[in-house]
A and B are shown apart, each in its own frame.
Chain A
Amino acid sequence: MSRTPSQTVGPYYSIGLCRRPGHELVPDGVELTGRLLDGRGEPIRDGVVELFDTETHAWGRSATDEDGRFAFVVPHGARRLEVFVFARGLLRHQLTRIYLDGGAGAEDETLLAAPEGGGFRFDIRMQGDRATLFFEH
């Protein structure tokens, strides 16, 4: 049977999403931050990012702020995280992944997190020269 089509989360998703879970995949881990940017390099202020750790099945959500910034606490030693991106203007959510361990076997260099201050930095660019690689799903 046919699948139900996707529709955008719209600008008001924080009413229904983001209450639980929070941005901490684990109570005690390392910080991973980044910015969600549109095709002009402008911050996407009404996006939400979800991370999923395939090893621990830990899951978290972070709404983006005025700078398009999201922030998570991820498990120590996590090697790879799967990522869903939602925003107003995204009719379908997008799937990408973050490599934290140097990225051996990574599909694309845009998927590598950069070490930053004991944690990690990972920006998500929807368009442009350095656009993040997204996967079909």
Chain B
Amino acid sequence: MSDVQVDYPGYRATQWRAPSRPLAPIPEELHTLEGPVFGDDAVERSDNDLTQQHAGEPLGERIIVHGRLLGDDRRPIRNALIEVWQANAAGRYLHDVDQHPAPLDPNFSGAGRVLTDDEGRYRFTTIKPGAYPWRNHPNAWRPAHIHFSVIGRMFTQRLVTQMYFPGDPLFELDPIFNSVRDASSRELLIASFDLATTEPEWALAYRWDIVVQRTPFEE
């Protein structure tokens, strides 16, 4: 059911990490297992605005990222926890392992979280992340992206993925993006520019809907 090739040779780290045994069928009872339930204390006020988590404003292009979390039957998934993390505008992560010689931004941590509303909607304000180099192959660069983690209503609605920006010249060179073998599926990872939500004199907006397994019963 997945068109992600888990042992994609172009992404070297898969070699010793992709499962080698054939996968077993999912235990039937997991299809109807509900996931963790989140209270209002799962998120704090500044969690949906990554530009307001420090004393000053971060550098870079301020953007709004929003969309809906849907089941594959198009029904919204409410009260789901969406967590994001990303590099700063210079393409640097606030992480010890990241040695890219680009500046950290004292006003940007790059982490956010939000619960979806009754229509499955989420919305973040953040900074457009920069592309950054990695050592997978010579002169390897990741296209700009925001990492997303979704914990939905159902156990089987767990998803971790990455959102990309339209028109990135690095798409065809990136083995992680291309580990999704079907071109139309890759398109599902790319947000759309959204003029209607763009705020004049303030921030460009991008819209990105996320689709997971449907909830198998009516709410």
A contact residues vs B (CB 8 Å cutoff) = 1-17, 19-20, 38-40, 42, 44, 46, 52, 54, 57-59, 82, 84, 86-95, 97, 107-108, 126-128, 131-137
Contacts and interface: CB of A to CB of B under 8 A. Distances in A.
Interface of B: 1-6, 8, 11-21, 23-27, 29-30, 33-37, 42, 70, 72-74, 83-87, 93-95, 97-98, 109-113, 147, 149, 155-156, 158-162, 176-177, 179-180, 184-186, 188-189, 209-213
Given A6-B159, A7-B162, 7 more contacts: A1-B72, A90-B14, A92-B2, A95-B26, A127-B17, A133-B24, A136-B26
Nearest to A59: B36
Pairs A-B, 9 closest by C-beta atoms: A16-B85, A89-B13, A89-B17, A127-B20, A39-B16, A7-B162, A38-B16, A15-B85, A59-B36
A108 B24 contact: yes
A128 B36 CA distance: 33
A136 B23 contact: yes
A29 B191 CA distance: 43
B19 A3 contact: no
A12 B95 contact: yes
30 contacts: A1-B74, A3-B213, A4-B161, A4-B189, A4-B209, A5-B2, A5-B186, A6-B159, A7-B4, A7-B147, A7-B162, A7-B180, A10-B147, A12-B98, A13-B85, A13-B147, A16-B111, A38-B17, A39-B15, A52-B36, A52-B155, A82-B155, A87-B17, A88-B17, A90-B17, A126-B17, A127-B18, A131-B20, A133-B21, A135-B30
